[in-house]
Amino acid sequence: MATGTGKPIAYVPGQRAARTEYAKRDDVPSNNSVIRGMASSVHARVNRIGQAQDWLGRWQDRIQGRPARPIRALDEFTGETLAQWALTNVLYARKRPAPSFGFGLAPVLTHSVAARRQRRLRGTLLLATLVYLGGSHPSGMAAILAAVLLCQFFAGRVCRTILRWGSNGLVPALLLAAALFALWSFAKPHLPILREAVLEGLLVAPRLLIAVTALHLLDRWACHAYVQSLRPGRHHIARRPFLAPFAAKRIAAHEVTEQWQSIAYRKEGRVDRFVGAGLDSWPKGATRIQLTSARTSEDEEDDLPLATADMSDLDASQKFDADELLDKVRDELEELRGALVETHALPNCDVAEFLGIPEGRWKSLNQSSGGGGATSGWPEATEMCTEARGAPTGHFSRRYLAAQVVAWDGQIVVTVFAHAALEGNTLHFVTRPHVLAPLLPSANVTPARGWDLARRLAETPLHACGDTFALASRVYTTIGRGLGLLTAVTTAAAAVREKDDGRPVSLREHCGRETTEDMHQTEDVQRYVSIVQSRMFSTVSAFLADHGLATGEFTRQAIAITQNYITGDNNQVNTGNMGGGMQQGPLPGGPANRTEKAG
């Protein structure tokens, strides 16, 4: 049993000896499909060829009278938008990141920093190109700008308003003709200069287009290079950004804090859930029984609980505390890693203890323990160990035992949190299953291979031309609406950078689905919840029986709960009877329970 050293917990008179160890969670994965998909998605670019097809399709829809099809674009869960979200809400946020389940933050944050740097470099080079051409060909750039403004004037509402006013009567028509004649008289002496400016503008415009297209081409090739560095066959993934010491320091700190076992809870609608464990929070399974001595040694299915019994009726061998019960549940869950038959095991089952805290307290938590490095201790470890020494009433922060199964290469993470409370001669045992669903398609970019990669590289110049056209269109529209020459259209509200309210956020939940949609993945989720939850209840029942306590009422409540999570015969799992779970031998050479001293 691995242990760590830490600050001792002071003895409190009148209470039992302080518990100084806790079950430590496994290290987060360093390389799986979730990490590669999320890190690759920050380098995604718009499919300009697909956009052109959509615009042509809209023209056909208009002719045939069909509803206009949407124009494909990047959503908020991919590309530079996702990179900016990760940097703002995770890397540089003044709060601790939510615990990472089934993936690691370092590679995703590293590539987010790289994506931001690439965006800034692209913008700097574009600005430098404009400054260089403006300095070397000032009249040509001025002619291009004047042509843009004239096009916007003639196409805008101002020109239409003037023409409509000039056609309303004889006097307005004469005034309009006089204004045009005065304008021509003013420009006629400068025609040679204007002619030279136009010729220089015709010379500069192709150079500007070629330079901007070349920059977009290099930008897209750099994105391909980043994505290829995350291909499945590559075992080493960058975990620190190059030439970014401050960001590297922050990422190193997050690698430590994402392993800490404090987890915030919040209420969403009518469901309470732990932030980071998944958006799919299942209804809690709560059992509540009075502790009474068993009447006989026979099967207790027909026993009725003795409502009039109190703790004084129990002898010393029958009394226990929540720590003992949860330790027994933890030991039984650890045995799920082993198996009598290979396919009966849950090899990725991790059992650890977490401190559930309200989300309002999250911002006040320390972002570092002061030690620095990978040896930094978890600041709330002492609090979690001392929390169970007294009655749970009045405590916002409570200790949970969590059994977690990571499957589908990190795409699915099932976590069942369990809490035990002993108060008033009553045992309250509650389970809270959570499911992390697979990533959204837009946040799960897969590197191209073989001929598909060659085709994408060959299409890159076409996409770069589309980027140049999109940039020119955006600049044209921005200038026209800024000067009031073009009519402003109703658009979706721009994303506003929200002020950090200190609430915990999870990058994995931000990029994931709410629930599983695949049939087989859904069956696996139901099976994992059934296995873990049934093993928890059967262990508690066996623990009560070993202490000579009645288990009939607890068994009835547990069966009612577990049956609610089983939908169909194909999802039923044989986890043993409620009086004692199926025993499995430990996995040869497998990991043992790891505990760490609180401090």
Q: pLDDT of 409-443, one tens digit each? A: 999 999 999 999 888 788 899 999 999 999 999 99
Asked whether residue 195 is assigned to any structural domain, the reply reads: no
553 domain residue, yes or no: yes
- Tens of pLDDT, residue by residue over 465-489, are 999 999 999 988 888 777 665 565 5
At 596, the amino acid letter reads: E
Specify if 305 maps to a domain: yes
pLDDT attached to residue 392? 64
pLDDT of residue 423: 81
Q: State yes or no: pLDDT of 338 exceeds 80.
A: no
Report the run of H or E that residue 236 belongs to, with start and end.
Answer: none
pTM given for the model: 0.83
In a domain, 84, yes or no: no
Would you call 233 exposed, middle or buried from its count of C-beta atoms within 10 A (0-12, 13-18, 19+)?
Answer: exposed
55 located within any domain: no
Query: What's the chain's length in residues?
Result: 599
- Per-residue pLDDT tens digits for 527-586: 999 999 999 999 999 988 888 888 889 899 988 888 765 544 444 444 444 444 333 334
Q: How far is CA 502 from the centre of its chain?
A: 16
Confirm whether 574 is domain-assigned.
yes
H helix runs in 65-169, sequence order: 79-86, 105-136, 138-155, 157-166
pLDDT of residue 79: 94
**What range does the domain containing 302 cover?**
272-352+398-440+511-591
pLDDT interval class at 110 (50, 70, 90):
very high
Residue 341, domain member (yes or no): yes
Min mean pLDDT across 345-349, 436-440, 444-448 is at 345-349
Number of domains into which the chain is organized? 1
3-class DSSP state of 423: strand
Question: Which H or E run contains 205?
Answer: helix 191-228
Out of 37-41, 91-95, 261-265, 577-581, least confident range: 577-581
Answer whether 504's CB lies under 8 Å from 275's CB. Answer: yes
Provide the pairing of β-strand 262-268 with 349-358: parallel
Residue 17's pLDDT band (cuts 50, 70, 90): low
Q: Does the pLDDT of residue 592 top 50, yes or no? A: no
Would 539 be classed as within a structural domain? yes
CB within 8 A of 413, min separation 6: which ones? Answer: 101, 102, 277, 278, 404, 405, 406, 407, 435, 436
CA distance 91 to 253: 10
